[in-house]
Amino acid sequence: MSTTVEFLLGSLALASSILGNDSSLPTVDLGYQIHRAISLDETFNTYNFTNIPYAEPPLGPLRFKAPIPPRGRKSEIQDGSIGKICPQANTKWNGIGSLFAAAYATDRLPFNYTQAEETLASSPPRIMDPRVTEDCLVLDVLVPKTVFDEQSKSKGAPVLVWIYGGGYALGDKTMFGSPHELMAATQQGENQGAIWVAMNYRLGAFGFLSGPTLQETGTANAGLHDQRLALEWVQENIHKFGGDPDNVTLMGISAGGGSVMHQITAYGGLKPALFRQAITQSSAFVPNPGTQLQEDAFNNFLSLLNVSSLEEARALDSAALLQIQSSETPTAHLSLNCLIWRVLPWCQLILQGSYSKGISILSSHMSHEGIFFINPRAIDDETLLRQRHRIPHI
């Protein structure tokens, strides 16, 4: 999905619900700030609390590290009116994959790879979404008005926490549009409805650098730690919106579905899970390429920045890192170098029994869901297919 489309979807989702921000809209005291709902959607009777920070801005010394909770307290009431998304990584498979998937779906094969590259080369340059910022660790809470207004009369509403997909390189909390139809479905009959939470998490080089050298002063897979901190935020704060922290369902698609599995296997299951149910849709599994490739990608990233250490990279202005992140380089898609909490990927951890127990899981997949990521030149070449996608001979 292009940055322009993502921006339009996010803008439309917000614009369709805003009736105006005024003092009549409710506030929630989070301790570190008072946050006011930005709108009440009268069609779905839902308050929108948007762009709530759940972490300190991951800047300077906090860059490439696990996030920490917000510090201090803001004196003015916040309304989240400034949209934020994390820096996006430009990947070649995004453009080629979109063209190939469209050709495959409409039976326009064989695919002309050379022509596709020429089409992409002649396309206008990508325009950076104005919402892009490193200070992007925010989340949205959508809550039915009846749930919020009558929270003292019940034990709390169920909570749905959404993790977006995008190959661990692209995406934001609003990229799939508004969840209002889903929320309306939870309000049928005598049910007051569920609360929706969606968080941003760091992507590409900002969220998924790894390797032994990085881990000396940084945190591998910081994006997964972002997700974990957002889940901790839900446990600590969702009751203030009328939600039940003991009835949380974590859900996601593609890289979001994979992230759900990473959270289930986080710390080998030695720490308690922060949700009771999970819905995984087309869970993305990334092979573990080994320590040396992780280290090579990390060193490549430093060379692209023209620095020699992680500390020097932390000292750079955001603009320098944003330029490298958005450029189409082998380092752009750094999710291929994940350690995924431990050395083993989540599928092996599950086979070993190293995961959080007692979680109800609903898993779903789509037919042909990998077409977007397949090298089109390998579609009829099994040797190239196995070589490029690390498929073992069985």
- Write the CB contacts of 78 (distance below 8 Å, at least 6 apart in sequence): 33, 34, 35, 36, 52
Looking at residue 237, what DSSP letter applies?
A: H
Q: Which two tokens stand for residue 109?
A: 């094969």
DSSP strand E in the chain: where?
Answer: 27-29, 34-36, 39-41, 46-53, 138-144, 157-163, 195-199, 243-253, 277-281, 360-364
Q: Which two tokens stand for residue 28?
A: 């929630």
AA identity, residue 63: R
132 SS3 class:
strand
Choosing from 17, 39, 178, 254, the catalytic residue is: 254
The helix-helix angle for 222-237 and 255-264 (nearest 10°) equals 70
d(CA 122, CA 61): 40
Question: How large is the C-alpha radius of gyration of the chain?
Answer: 21
H and E: helices and strands count for the chain: 14, 10
d(CA 170, CA 91): 9
69 SS3 class:
coil
Q: Is 16 a catalytic residue?
A: no
Residue whose structure tokens are 């003015």 = 76
Compute the Cα dihedral for 336, 56, 233, 356 and give only its sign: positive
Q: Is 254 a catalytic residue?
A: yes
AA identity, residue 175: M
d(CA 296, CA 280): 31
d(CA 285, CA 122): 33
Q: Are strands 46-53 and 39-41 parallel, antiparallel or unpaired?
A: antiparallel
DSSP strand E in 203-262: where?
Answer: 243-253
Residue whose structure tokens are 């919402």 = 131
Residue whose structure tokens are 């920045």 = 305
d(CA 54, CA 233): 6
Kindly list the catalytic residues: 254, 369
